[in-house]
């Protein structure tokens, strides 16, 4: 799960979606995976 979350963060950084990244930082890794599904 941690690796998947890190890949999601790298994807968002590459897209310069900093606001979404800030929100994910406050969530658990499970929420990170859910965010990935939304993207």
Tens of pLDDT, residues 1-39? 566 767 766 766 666 655 565 565 555 566 666 666 554
Start-to-end CA span in the chain (Å) = 17
Say what the pLDDT of residue 29 is. 61
Predicted TM-score (pTM) of the model is 0.27
Say what the pLDDT of residue 4 is. 72
Q: What is the DSSP string of 1-39?
A: -HHHHHHHHHHHHHTT-HHHHHHHHTS-HHHHHHHHHH-
d(CA 15, CA 1): 21
Say what the pLDDT of residue 7 is. 74
Say what the pLDDT of residue 28 is. 57
Question: Cα 8 to the chain's mean position, in Å?
Answer: 4
d(CA 34, CA 30): 6
């Amino acid at each position: 799960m941690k690796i998947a979350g890190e890949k999601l963060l790298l994807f968002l950084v590459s897209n310069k979606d900093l606001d979404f990244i800030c929100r994910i930082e406050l969530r658990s890794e499970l929420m990170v995976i859910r965010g990935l599904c939304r993207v």
